[in-house]
């Protein structure tokens, strides 16, 4: 493989550096990586990829391509996207002892600095009512999945930095 081709390949998979438990630099709150959320649940989600996204988020990776590239790969797969949204909802529920109305309700969300996307609010409401199924995710367009995944990552990022103050700053 030519050097140029190899460089392009590495860029394409965002592999010029990795994020994992061993490379994490920042002190972080006690958020469990995605692979540890319901590990007993049989899922086809790519937990290695999701954990990498988690550690990139926790470290607030300064590479502008890093998280978008990881997110591109996550939203390619409905199972992984669902696990990501479930995980963000889980962490948020732990932080606030339940999912705040600001994350599921359109009117309540309009008052926050953090504006959760429409799709995320809808999926979070399904999570809240224990009605989330893969069928709901299957029915989403690629753009909607991306929108939900972006909100999920931004939410965990915010909670990581601000804690419970995040939604009410």
Residues that bind Zn ion (CB under 5 A): 56, 61, 63, 66
Given the complex with Zn ion, which of 37 and 56 has the nearer CB atom?
Answer: 56
Between residues 66 and 154, which has the closer beta carbon with respect to Zn ion? Answer: 66
Cβ–Cβ < 8 Å for 124, 99:
yes
SS3 158: helix
Compare residues 34 and 56 and give the one whose CB is closer to Zn ion: 56
DSSP 90-123: HHHHHHHTS--HHHH-HHHHTTSSS---HHHHHH
Q: Which is nearer to Zn ion, 20 or 133 (CB)?
A: 20
d(CA 24, CA 54): 10
Please report how close the Cβ of residue 95 comes to Zn ion at its closest, in angstroms.
24
Helix (H, G, I), strand (E, B) or coil at 126: helix
| For Zn ion, the closer CB: 66 or 132 | 66
The total of other beta-carbon atoms located within 10 Å of residue 151's CB is 23
Q: CA angle 34-154-27, nearest 5°?
A: 65
């Amino acid at each position: 493989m030519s050097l140029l081709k190899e460089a392009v390949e590495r860029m394409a998979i965002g592999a010029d550096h990795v994020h994992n438990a061993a490379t994490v630099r920042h002190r972080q709150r006690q958020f469990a990586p995605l692979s540890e959320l319901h590990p007993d649940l049989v899922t086809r989600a790519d937990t290695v990829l999701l954990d990498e996204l988690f550690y990139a988020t926790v470290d607030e990776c300064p590479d502008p391509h890093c998280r978008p590239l990881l997110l591109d790969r996550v939203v390619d797969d409905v199972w992984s996207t669902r696990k990501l949204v479930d995980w963000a909802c889980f962490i948020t529920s732990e932080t606030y002892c339940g999912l705040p109305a600001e994350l599921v309700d359109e009117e309540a969300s309009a008052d926050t600095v953090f504006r959760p996307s429409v799709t995320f609010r809808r999926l979070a409401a399904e999570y809240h009512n224990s009605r989330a199924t893969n069928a709901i995710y299957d029915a989403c367009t690629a753009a909607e999945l991306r929108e939900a995944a972006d909100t999920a990552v931004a939410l965990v990022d915010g909670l990581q930095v601000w804690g419970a103050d995040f939604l009410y700053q």
